[in-house]
Amino acid sequence: MITLIKNATIFDPEPIGSRDVLIAGERIAAIGETLDVSGRLVEHIDASGYILIPGLVDVLTHPGGGGGEGGFGNRTAAVGFEAFRDAGITCPVGALGTDSIGRSLDVLYAEIMHLRERGIDAHMLTGAYRVPPPTITGDIARDIALIAPVIGVGEVAVSDHRGSQPTPGELRRIAADARLGGTISGKRGVVLVHVGDGRRGLAPIVEALADSDLPTDCFYPTHVNRRRPLLEEAIAFARNGGFVDITVSTTPEFLDLGEVAARDALREAIAAGAPAERISLSSDAGGSLPVYRAGELAGHSAATPGVLLDLVQDTLREDPDFAAAIIAALTRNPARALGLQRKGRVAAGADADILLLDPDTYALTEVFCRGRRLLNQ
Ligand code: ZN
């Protein structure tokens, strides 16, 4: 299949103006000011004025659902193919979280393979909050080396009362095993670290890295915007060569408690000297969020994948000069952090993961993932 998208306004993630994009099979074959390809096998899409951005790379999702805190009644539902597609997330990374007892990596693997067969290029992490991490084969390095969709380990919890309170040595061993599995199989083998509400912040990661031969960016902390002091630690971590991830899903109560809204957190981090390319934004889709009524905990809802696309659309409307930074943090930056070299770009040779947005409403009108047209409306 060959598809020629004509005259789209492209963000790669920086704006590069109006271009034609040629998709051949699973990849972008060429980009140019005017590409001419004809023949019965070529489908033409007139995208004049439409905004074209890379498919979103979401480093933390819970495709099988999450939560379960406060009892089995609070388990959240699976996210599902349509929800990812309609949110423009062509590369979600699935993980277990708090609950690795009522939920398993085997089931997560099945969810990931379901998304792949439907056309979304999903990946996954082995492990969970707990240490030692649960695995599929019995070993972190073997999971990463031998199971194609497994690209790292996580979300390993630190500074959280629900985590295993891992020692620096335990974190080092997890990172070393992930790195070994990645080295063998040509993956980055990162450790996505859930940073909780605890007073120690990023200290467990910094201590694990001290006196080790591991590079700073083998640990990839997430939820770093949950408090301003933690965000400041994350800025220092990024300046020292790490990648950090900001969570977009939130609630009014979390913001009242001091969480920094995602766009503000990204802007503040860049202004404070964190390298913009070392910061990503993720949804935590499927993870549980507390619901309050009149100040009382009334149950749990689930974070949704749509928050990422909402953020892109709101930024295009309200703060267009910042849109490229937001799009980069949802595409190229997480792809680099995860070692997915063909993701997050609109460039020849990249996977044909492409979104088209309506020029007036910014509504998502087309989704391509590895050249397959998943949405056309
Ligand atoms: Zn988490």
DSSP 35: -
Specify the pLDDT at position 228: 96
Tally of CA atoms within 13 A in the half-sphere of 357 that contains its CB: 24
Q: 58 an active-site residue?
A: no
Q: What is the pLDDT of residue 43?
A: 93
- Distance from the CA of 373 to the center of ligand 1, in angstroms? 32
Residue percentage of the chain with pLDDT more than 90 = 88
Checking if the pLDDT of 292 tops 90, the result is no
pLDDT of residue 359: 95
* C-beta pairs of 113-117 under 8 Å, 24+ apart in sequence: 113/149, 114/81, 115/63, 115/81, 115/84, 116/149
Q: How far is ligand 1, taken at its centre, from the CA of residue 288, in Å?
A: 10
**Does 288 score more than 90 pLDDT?**
no
pLDDT tens digits for range 34-70 = 999 988 899 999 999 999 999 999 999 999 998 767 7
Q: What is the pLDDT of residue 185?
A: 98
pLDDT-based confidence at residue 138 (cuts at 50, 70, 90): very high
Mean pLDDT, residues 71-94 taken together: 94
Residue 195's φ and ψ, nearest 5 degrees, are: -100, 115
Where residue 301 falls among pLDDT bands split at 50, 70, 90? confident
Distance 226 CA to ligand 1 centre (A): 11
Judged by average pLDDT, the poorest of 168-172, 250-254, 294-298, 314-318 is 294-298
CA distance linking residue 204 with residue 105, whole number of Å: 25
Quick one: pLDDT band at residue 328, thresholds 50, 70, 90? Answer: very high
pLDDT, the chain, mean: 95
Question: What local confidence, expressed as pLDDT, does residue 68 receive?
Answer: 67
Residue 291 pLDDT exceeds 90: no
| Structure tokens given for 123 | 């990946």
Question: What pairs with residue 5 in β-bridges?
Answer: 21, 45
> Per mean pLDDT, which range of 138-152, 242-256, 285-299, 350-364 is the poorest?
285-299
Q: Which of 58, 245, 284, 353 is catalytic?
A: 284
Whole-structure pTM over 0.95, yes or no? yes
Nearest Cα residue to 325 out of 250, 233, 246, 230: 246
Q: How confident is the model at residue 27 (pLDDT cuts 50, 70, 90)?
A: very high
User: 161 alpha carbon to ligand 1 midpoint, in Å?
Assistant: 12
How many A from CA of 322 to the centre of ligand 1?
26
For residue 253, pLDDT beyond 90: no
Interval between CA 86 and ligand 1 midpoint (Å): 23
Task: Give the Å distance between the CA of 316 and the centre of ligand 1.
Answer: 28
Q: Which residue has the higher pLDDT, 155 or 292?
A: 155
Kindly compute the dihedral angle of the four CA atoms of residues 221, 223, 227, 232, in this order, to the nearest 10 degrees. Answer: 30
How many angstroms separate the alpha carbon of residue 222 from the centre of ligand 1? Answer: 7
How many A from CA of 327 to the centre of ligand 1? Answer: 22
Mean pLDDT (whole number) for 283-311: 88
